[in-house]
A and B are shown apart, each in its own frame.
Chain A
Amino acid sequence: MTINDLNTILPLVVLAGWSVVVLLADLWIPKDRKGWTAALSAVGLVVVLGLTLARGGTVQKAFFGTVLVDGFALYLDIIFLVGGLAGIALAYDYLKRMELERGEYYPLLLIAISGMMLMTYANDLIIVFLALELLSLPLYIMAGFARFNLQSEEAALKYFLLGSFASGLVLYGVALLFGASGHTDLPGLVNTMRAGTGNQALFLFGAALLLVGFSFKTGIVPFHMWMPDVYQGAPSPATAFMSVGAKAAGFAALMRVFVTVFPSLSDDLTPILWALAAITMVVGNVLAISQKNIKRLLAYSSIAQSGYLLMAFVPYANAEVSSDSIAAMLFYLLAYTLTTFGAWAVIIQMEQQERRGLEVADYAGLGKRHPWLGLAMTIFMLSFTGVPLTLGFWGKFYLFSTAVEGGFVGLALIGLLTSVVSAFYYLRVVVVMYMQPGDPPVKQNRWVNLTALLAAAVVVGLAFIPGSVLDLALQAVLQLQ
């Protein structure tokens, strides 16, 4: 290892080091001044964001080729770092209000982001596994951050058990792939696949296990069972952060590994992916209809969004479509991140002590009493549905058009129909906000407000220039190959 290697992943090194510094600094910060810890973490994230942008998307390898930095990593890292800033903004007031304020929350968030960034750099299956653990372990703790709340405890335990199970499956898959080829590095695996040497059955089995493991992480039916309980039980800011971070990181690994290594297995994998995408879209959207709790509603909505993302991933092996497909997924991840953080910012302001204010019915009158919050929430719900003039519309548009381009018209049709179904439960929130009388108590906080309004503005603003965002995503993909 040389200084050059460290320099290549400088943003990651700085972030990981800073998380240790913040953890130690927090020990000497008095109990009622935990805002300092939050501010220190935010400063670190801004610096790392600057370093990441300054680094740019030039392709560099380090650590004997196990780590690869490229445009794909750059694009996702920006999402993770901005998400981390939003996560801190959402958490600070909430933790104080719910009497959960402990400084460890912020260093844990930084460590989780380090894991996510490492996931985007991974060019070796061992690194993929390392990153998976690095991002998962802090998330387990964050899910159980309300230690004396039974629901939160349950969420942490469920997430931990199923998460470790998924990690085990990924590791088993890595072991089988190593057994089939004698390589864990992606270039080595690619060469073995191209040459046709190695045990094809083991390859297929290993790829399937990786798919199952990452499906757990991203919440793809039938591996989604943990999501509603964990999303409901975890403290809301932690839920917001994990619903974006864990999902984007899981898809990042899926994209990198499957598109580079497994195109030749597409005959066997494509029908499986097709079925997973279809069933995820149907189950996520149909089960969301009957939800009364807004956190559970967003959990099922998050499952459905995974289905849409996976739909564009089905033609991954088709060389003509695959770069479009990944660009569409990256675009949608951006739209999903912004919309999710915005929606959770509104939910966090609505949540009261003892987990009250979380039913959809509690939103009655929000639109009249707090017009800005109501407007923001409306925009997020419309963006989730995929209504024009929002970023979500363009995201879905690109996803559907890639699916059609790849020849999966039936799948796109299922996606379209389930989107219509989803309009029912998303718009119900809007209807309750504007059409029903009520005066919901709202705990306003400027940082949470800022997150909600900024997210709403960007979701609408970027919807006018979707082409330039897609260009960014396309550039990110071109450097992947």
Chain B
Amino acid sequence: MLVEYIPLLIIFLLAFFVALVVQGLGAGFGPRRPTERKGQPYESGMVPYGPGTRRISVRYYLVAVLFILFDIEAIFILPWAVVYRDLGVSGLVLMIVFIFILEAAFVYAWKKGALEWE
């Protein structure tokens, strides 16, 4: 059974070998004249400024999390709406319960001040 996968193994080895050869050729024969500019993380583009560990505001993540809440609601309501007639009353009751639970999360976020931008 495993024998069938031997070609795959050969491709893996071949890819590894080719990568090794190419890297080796470059390192062995290529000229190497480092300058300060070449050593920078981004050789082209804007000159970096400020420290790399600067703090940024993550306020937007709350909006993103709230988006997930309504996203999930939409994902479940759409297929439910398609088969709504077949599900009958129990389907309606279940969806009301589901939306109630989701709204509980929304009320929680609202009351905790997640919607206030300042």
Interface of A toward B, CB cutoff 8 Å: 1-2, 20, 23-24, 27
Contact = CB atoms under 8 A, between A and B. Distances in A.
Contacts of A20: 101, 104
A256 to B, nearest CB: 27
A24 B94 contact: no
Q: Give the interface residue-count category, chain B.
A: under 10
Contacts of A23: 104, 108
B53 interface: no
A1 B90 contact: yes
Interface string B2-22: 000000000000000000000
Contacts of B108: 23-24, 27
Nearest to B94: A1
Contacts of B112: 27
A23 B106 CA distance: 12
A1 B93 CA distance: 11
A24 B101 CA distance: 11
Interface string B96-118: 00000100100110011000000
A24 B104 contact: yes
B9 to A, nearest CB: 18
Q: Is the interface of A mostly helix, strand, loop or mixed?
A: helix
A27 to B, nearest CB: 4
A24 B100 CA distance: 12
A20 B100 CA distance: 10
A96 to B, nearest CB: 20
A380 to B, nearest CB: 38
Contacts of A1: 90, 94
B90 A24 contact: no
B107 A27 contact: yes
Interface in B61-118: 90, 94, 101, 104, 107-108, 111-112
Contacts of B90: 1-2
14 contacts: A1-B90, A1-B94, A2-B90, A20-B101, A20-B104, A23-B104, A23-B108, A24-B104, A24-B107, A24-B108, A27-B107, A27-B108, A27-B111, A27-B112
Nearest to A3: B90
Contacts of A27: 107-108, 111-112
Nearest to A24: B104
Most buried by A among B94, B108, B111, B112: B108
A212 B65 CA distance: 32
A27 B90 CA distance: 31
Nearest to A28: B111
9 A-B pairs with the lowest CB-CB distances in the bound complex, closest first: A27-B111, A20-B104, A24-B104, A23-B108, A20-B101, A24-B107, A27-B108, A1-B90, A23-B104
B15 to A, nearest CB: 26
Contacts of B111: 27
Contacts of B107: 24, 27
A4 to B, nearest CB: 12
A1 B98 CA distance: 14
A198 to B, nearest CB: 15
Given A23-B104, A24-B107, A27-B107, 11 more contacts: A1-B90, A1-B94, A2-B90, A20-B101, A20-B104, A23-B108, A24-B104, A24-B108, A27-B108, A27-B111, A27-B112
Contacts of A24: 104, 107-108
A23 to B, nearest CB: 6
A1 B95 CA distance: 13
A363 B92 CA distance: 60
A454 to B, nearest CB: 34
Contacts of B104: 20, 23-24
Nearest to B100: A20
A108 B19 CA distance: 51
A23 B107 CA distance: 10
A2 B111 CA distance: 35
Interface in B10-69: none
